[in-house]
Amino acid sequence: MVEYSLGETALHWGDILVILGYLAAVMAVGIWSSCRNRGSVGGYFLAGRSMHWIPVGASLFASNIGSGHFIGLAGSGASSGIGIAVFELNAIFILLILGWIFVPVYIAAGVYTMPEYLRKRFGGQRIRIYLAVLTLILYVFTKISADLYSGALFIQLAMGWNLPLAITALLLLAALFTIAGGLTAVIWTDFIQTVIMVIGAFILMVMSFVEVGGYNPLIEKFFAAVPNTTRDAAPNDTYAKCGIPPANSMNLIRSIDDGSLPWLGVMVGLTISSVWYWCSDQVIVQRALASKDLSHAKGGTVLAGYLKILPMWLIVYPGMIARILFPDEVGCADPDICYSICGSRNGCTNIAFPLLVIRLLPPGLRGLMLAVMMSALMSSLTSIFNSGSTIFTMDIWRRIRKRASDIELMIVGRVFVLILVVISVVWIPIVQSVSELFHYIQAVTSFLAPPICAVYVLAVAWKRINEQGAFWGLMIGLVTGLARFIWEYSYGPAPPCGETSDNPIPPIISKVHYLHFGILLFFISAIATIVISLLTKAIPDEYLYRLTFFTRFSTETRMDISEQERIDNAKPEKEGVDNQGMKDSDINLSVMNSNGTTENTVQPEPAEKKLPWYKTAFNWICGIEKMQGGVGDLTPEQRAAMDAKQISIVEVPLHRRICNANAIILMVVATFLWGFFA
């Protein structure tokens, strides 16, 4: 990688103090929260299902807004105006779908992970294993590596640090919180990081608007923000038309043939990808499932929806201002000049946000914004690490080791975090070669996520969908998506503006926007799933209670769909090992009815003997020190009552009405923004 700098990188002592204060605050919160809900699988992976709506909503927002958003959203704003904000405004409506449609089903089903839900819904293991592996692949290729690269890019530009050293330090800190504290530590550190992100970005936004003269001058100056190489070029010059902001830069809704954000792709294709991300992606759903009850889960999604209004103002507009203030660098058009500025021949809009921080903010505030970027990076990484380890442990490792103890499961989850780190670092050079980071992430998502979205939507909405239809719908969608993905990227990166490629992409690829392809892929997968399901045997109703939206309140006893697992549950010599290899005495969320009745008998475990001090210390590091007693000492009646509360979707009427009213207000505000900037 080319090493480059954009000016003075030495930090003022005030910047250093602010960064150290941030690190101390986050570490204190992480250590405090890691001492809670550590001693069980439910505590480590679902925070004991005891989180308040405020930290849940903040964690939903912080898990989504990573360093890739600061780099990508600001860069796209600098490149083509406010259009990229549609990704944020669209998410508001999908968050409400998560809270009101999907989360009630997941809670009633009593699941840890999204692949686990599909195993309960359809039976068998092939869908669960396939989705677990595909989810981990998406984490590496579109989340961890992208966030690492964008965060390290900011640190390298702003501070002149060695790139590998910066990545290593941030990775170790993020992995430490995830390994030590589980989801409780992740959610509480996300909360403080959200506060820091919003405050720091708000200060930069205000200073940026003051520098440019206000909102109306911003609009006028943005369309005139062209680099000197374009302004001074002859009419027949190769790059004479490059570096000019598009005429629709201030529009959210653009023509159907727009090369960046066509309206049909935004309205339908983006919604499909968003439903996959917000309603079936482990990183997001896991936070909602950590809520103490359904009302808190809904409140968390509403709070996250309000927060999603902010990126348009805190990130996109400052990116546009950066182009106005530094047109020759952020808006450079000549590939050779761009390469000398930022190491990329396809443009330097990705440096828009770091450039504002470096040149606009005074000492102290510059350190605060660096802390903001570190917050964004760490909150995303800790969330993904925790969710990735949950999927691997619950959906893959327990298939390999069916009788694995809680101690083994939690140790394996922590070790897998380290494996994720290594793989993601190896993939970073591939992400570096991409010209537009945000569109790269969305394109990969559109190639792989629509089939998953189709299966989850159909699984929750229609009981007639069966395992054969879901599996082959996923397979057909995967082959179709991979064919487009491999075909498109086999031509290499797109040539810079003003240049042509020696190996041009065929129109069937170049003329079909990735969001439009996502629509096509969704319907191909959905139709295949429906047709195959209708042609094969339906799943009997007794296997579907509380697994679809329309049966979520059912009080009937649900039978497990797998014959072999029913046989295993019927054998007393199996020591209460349930259909996923987890002991009933460890956690029994999946066998409770929504009315609080149990579907099998729970036996308490005897308390273990006192361990030597060195083993106690080791157990504390691994978060398993409470396995010596605690939940295992509860009587069957106490345990049944506790589990029933955790999977109940009954709401207090007042809380339900408050959540519904805020959801309506949020939708009205979001609709107004869509219409005002359409």
Which CATH superfamily hosts domain 13-235+264-434? Sodium/glucose cotransporter (1.20.1730.10)
Residue 563 pLDDT exceeds 70:
no
Residues 178, 411 contacting (CB under 8 angstroms): no
Residue 462 confidence (pLDDT): 93
Q: Is 278 exposed, middle or buried (0-12, 13-18, 19+ CB in 10 A)?
A: buried
Residue 570 confidence (pLDDT): 54
- One-letter-per-residue 3-state SS of 102-131: HHHHHHHHCCCCHHHHHHHHHCCCHHHHHH
Residue 2 confidence (pLDDT): 40
Residue 644 confidence (pLDDT): 61
Residue 117 confidence (pLDDT): 87
pLDDT band (50, 70, 90) for residue 427: low
Residues 61, 50 contacting (CB under 8 angstroms): no
H or E stretch including 2? none
Count helices and strands in the chain by DSSP H and E runs: 33, 0
Rounded CA-CA distance 608/39 in Å is 14
Residue 14 pLDDT exceeds 60:
yes
Nearest-CA neighbor of 534 among 472, 475, 476? 472
**Would residue 47 be called left, alpha or beta, if left means φ above 0 and alpha means ψ between -120 and 50 degrees?**
left
**Which residues lie across from 291 on neighbouring strands?**
51
Most confident of 155-164, 549-558, 605-614: 549-558
pLDDT (mean) for 52-75: 82
**Mean pLDDT lowest among 232-236, 307-311, 439-443:** 232-236
Residue 662 confidence (pLDDT): 94
- For residues 186 and 656, the model is more confident at 656
- For residues 547 and 167, the model is more confident at 547
Residue 294 pLDDT exceeds 50:
yes
Q: Is 529 helix (H, G, I), strand (E, B) or coil?
A: helix
Nearest-CA neighbor of 665 among 305, 300, 310? 305
pLDDT band (50, 70, 90) for residue 641: low
Most confident of 173-182, 493-502, 581-590: 493-502
pLDDT (mean) for 43-59: 67
pLDDT tens digits, 440-497: 788 888 998 999 999 999 999 999 999 999 999 999 999 999 899 888 877 766 677 7
DSSP-assigned states of every residue in 471-492: HHHHHHHHHHHHHHHHHHHTT-
Residue 515 confidence (pLDDT): 92
Long-range contacts of 234-239 (CB under 8 A, 24+ apart): 238/498, 238/499, 239/333, 239/334, 239/497, 239/498
Task: Name the residue ranges covered by the structural domains of the chain.
Answer: 13-235+264-434, 552-649
- For residues 78 and 71, the model is more confident at 78
Quote the Cα angle for 452-458-460, to 5°.
100
Residue 146 confidence (pLDDT): 74
Most confident of 304-313, 347-356, 423-432: 304-313
Residue 130 CB: number of other CB atoms within 10 A? 17
Residues of the chain above pLDDT 90, percent: 26
Residue 635 confidence (pLDDT): 56
Q: Name the one residue in this structure whose structure tokens are 């945000």.
A: 438
DSSP-assigned states of every residue in 559-575: PPS-HHHHHHHH-GGGT
Rounded CA-CA distance 138/135 in Å is 5
| Distance separating the N- and C-terminal Cα atoms of the chain | 40
pLDDT tens digits, 97-136: 999 999 999 988 888 777 788 888 998 778 878 887 887 8
pLDDT (mean) for 171-185: 57
Nearest-CA neighbor of 272 among 460, 447, 484, 529? 447
Residue 228 confidence (pLDDT): 83
**Which residues lie across from 577 on neighbouring strands?**
583
pLDDT band (50, 70, 90) for residue 263: very high
Residue 363 confidence (pLDDT): 82
Query: Residue 112 corresponds to which amino acid?
Result: Y
pLDDT band (50, 70, 90) for residue 414: confident
Rounded CA-CA distance 675/672 in Å is 5
- For residues 336 and 626, the model is more confident at 336
pLDDT tens digits, 320-372: 999 999 998 888 888 888 878 777 777 888 888 888 888 888 888 888 777 77
Residue 236 pLDDT exceeds 50:
yes
pLDDT band (50, 70, 90) for residue 581: very low
Residue 386 pLDDT exceeds 80:
no
Residue 38 confidence (pLDDT): 47
Residue 583 confidence (pLDDT): 38
Residue 579 confidence (pLDDT): 42
Residue 589 confidence (pLDDT): 38
pLDDT band (50, 70, 90) for residue 647: low
Return the structure tokens found at 585.
């005495």
pLDDT band (50, 70, 90) for residue 260: confident
pLDDT band (50, 70, 90) for residue 629: very low
pTM: 0.79
Rounded CA-CA distance 56/51 in Å is 7
Rounded CA-CA distance 588/601 in Å is 10
